[in-house]
């Protein structure tokens, strides 16, 4: 599903966003300011974005195009960290404005150092990993998961992932894919779906967690079903960093599922001014390989993790910040 802003609406929103101070001096105040700024959007568009986040029946991905962009950009950071050279904050404001419409941003200690705004760029040391730092490999279909001591990584994780394209890769090769679980269940034979609904799968913890906190050793979840819930509104969970089937049938089902993901997925090419809103429970997403130069010209996305509520993950809440879990 896509929505294209008119140039007039883009310029009106830009004129408000360009006046905002740098984000994150106070997150609550920043969110209030971007909420005010986004009120210049037509009610029909605001309603469409809100409905995407609200309804069980909504599509799993929404691409918004022709959003405001920063007038000047520094080089793409090469280390996955925030660029201290970015002088304007249009992309951050767009990201937080969209986040505010569908939920609340959430940060995790184990992901991007607990920052609310993630810079997603190719990093040399991560080029071939199954993480957001990769470039030369197909980043397999997955949900964004979060390590949790409960051994369920699909519990505290975000309900939504929002991506804003700051800079496209120079060759315009990179593609992002989304496979909706409703379409997957329609594609797969009933016997495979039945296997996916059994607790026969163990998910590896996210690559960033395994690398930084577990000496690169596998940290597997408890056995769980990849698919749960009603067939008209299923939830799906897959780890980019590896899924282990407990039986040969489970491994076979994973192979069939991967094929089905490729055949039912929608493809998105993100350019500056584009945002992709991803429901992280209704479907799985992936990214094509793309060339990375690590010279400041590379692809640069910014990302938030979004939850509809925080109460159920309150035991993870950090004493230092209400945003970090």
If you write DSSP's letter for every residue of 239-289 in order, what string do you get? -TT-EEESSHHHHHHHHHHHHHHHHH-EEE---TT-EEEEETTTEEEEE--
Q: Which is nearer to Fe ion, 13 or 286 (CB)?
A: 286
Q: Which is nearer to Fe ion, 91 or 143 (CB)?
A: 143
CB of 140 to Fe ion, least distance (A): 10
CB of 242 to Fe ion, least distance (A): 14
Question: Rounded to 5 degrees, what are φ and ψ at 198?
Answer: -95, 150
**At a CB cut-off of 8 Å and minimum separation 6, what does 169 contact?**
290, 291, 292, 298, 299
Please give the Cα distance from 224 to 246 (Å, whole number): 10
* 50 sits in which H/E element: helix 43-54
DSSP conformation class of 233: S
CB of 219 to Fe ion, least distance (A): 18
Q: Which is nearer to Fe ion, 86 or 118 (CB)?
A: 118
Q: Which is nearer to Fe ion, 88 or 269 (CB)?
A: 269
CB of 113 to Fe ion, least distance (A): 17
CB of 7 to Fe ion, least distance (A): 31
Name the closest residue to Fe ion (Cβ): 144
Residue listed under structure tokens 């004129």: 15
Tokens of 137: 């490999």
Between helix 90-102 and helix 43-54 the angle, nearest 10°, is 60
CB of 30 to Fe ion, least distance (A): 24
Q: Which is nearer to Fe ion, 158 or 273 (CB)?
A: 158
Q: Which is nearer to Fe ion, 144 or 274 (CB)?
A: 144
For residues 122 and 133, is the Cβ–Cβ distance under 8 A?
A: yes
* 4 sits in which H/E element: strand 2-4
Interface ranges with Fe ion (CB under 5 A): 144
């Amino acid at each position: 599903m896509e929505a294209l802003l008119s140039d007039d609406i883009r310029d009106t929103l830009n004129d408000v966003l360009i006046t905002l101070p740098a984000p994150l001096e106070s997150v609550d105040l920043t969110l209030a300011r971007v909420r005010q700024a986004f009120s210049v959007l037509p009610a029909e568009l605001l309603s469409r974005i809100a409905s995407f986040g609200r309804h069980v029946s909504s599509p799993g991905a929404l691409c918004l195009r022709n959003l405001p962009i920063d007038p000047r950009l520094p080089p793409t950071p090469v280390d996955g960290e925030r660029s201290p050279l970015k002088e304007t904050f249009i992309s951050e404001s767009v990201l937080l404005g969209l986040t505010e419409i569908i939920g609340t941003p959430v940060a995790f200690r184990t992901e991007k150092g607990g920052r609310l705004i993630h810079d997603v760029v190719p990093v040399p040391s991560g080029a071939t990993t199954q993480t957001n730092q990769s470039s030369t490999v197909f980043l397999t279909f997955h949900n964004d998961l979060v390590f949790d001591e409960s051994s369920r990584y699909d519990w505290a994780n975000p309900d939504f992932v929002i991506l804003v394209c700051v800079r496209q890769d120079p060759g315009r090769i990179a593609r992002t894919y989304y496979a909706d679980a409703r379409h997957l269940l329609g594609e797969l034979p009933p016997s495979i779906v039945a296997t996916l609904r059994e607790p026969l799968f163990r998910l590896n913890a996210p690559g960033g967690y395994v690398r930084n906190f577990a000496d690169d050793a596998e940290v597997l979840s408890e056995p769980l079903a990849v698919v749960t819930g009603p067939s008209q509104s299923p939830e799906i969970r897959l780890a980019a960093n590896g899924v282990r089937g407990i039986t040969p049938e489970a491994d076979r089902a994973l192979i069939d599922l991967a094929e089905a993901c490729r055949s039912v997925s929608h493809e998105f090419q993100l350019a500056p001014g584009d945002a992709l809103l991803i429901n992280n429970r209704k479907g799985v997403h992936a990214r094509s390989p793309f060339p990375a130069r690590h010279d400041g010209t590379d692809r640069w996305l910014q990302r938030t993790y979004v939850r509809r509520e925080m109460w159920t993950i309150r035991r993870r809440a950090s004493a230092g910040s209400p945003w970090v879990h």
